[in-house]
Structure 1
Amino acid sequence: MANALVLQRPRDDRMIAGVCAAIGRRLGVDPRWVRVAAVASMLLPGPQVLLYLIAWVLIPSE
């Protein structure tokens, strides 16, 4: 249970970098829903891609 509270990009549930899987695990949500929300947000103007890249660099891998 303590491992679910740590924000780490998993090695086994990655689509691109594991950022959405890490956020989904941390929030206790299926990572698929986080991915759907991330893709939907990419359709809106804003720095979503930049934030994803920053999260990719800052969130450590397992």
Structure 2
Amino acid sequence: MSDKTLALSNDKMIAGVCGGIAEYFGWSKGGVRLVYVLLSVLSAAFPGLFVYIILWLLMPKKDSL
């Protein structure tokens, strides 16, 4: 069993959502941020912004784990 937990990153530009996802999967933080922005822009921004806010509210802070 892995003890990895999806949590907000301390290395953040806004809330740490993209950074937390990148840390969890072992991906580049810049790459995840770029993909997020591209997907948001190509989907008229609203769904991407809505998902980001939901994840921001639901993901625990790394400090509180």
TM over 0.5: yes
RCO comparison, higher one (Cα < 8 Å, 6+): 1
Partner residue, 1:9: 8
> What TM-score comes out, normalization by structure 1 length?
0.85
Partner residue, 2:26: 28
Using the alignment, how far apart are the partners of 2:35 and 2:22 within structure 1? Answer: 11
Which residue identity does 2:57 align to in structure 1? V
Q: Over aligned residue pairs, what C-alpha RMSD do you find?
A: 1.5
Q: CA deviation at 1:45?
A: 2.1
Unaligned runs of 5+ in 2: none
Give deviations 1:4-46, integer Å, cap 9, x for gaps: x2111122x0000000000001111011100000110111226
Unaligned runs of 5+ in 1: none
Using the alignment, how far apart are the partners of 1:19 and 1:50 within structure 2? Answer: 12
Of 26-35 and 38-47, more deviation after overlay is shown by 38-47
> What TM-score comes out, normalization by structure 2 length?
0.81
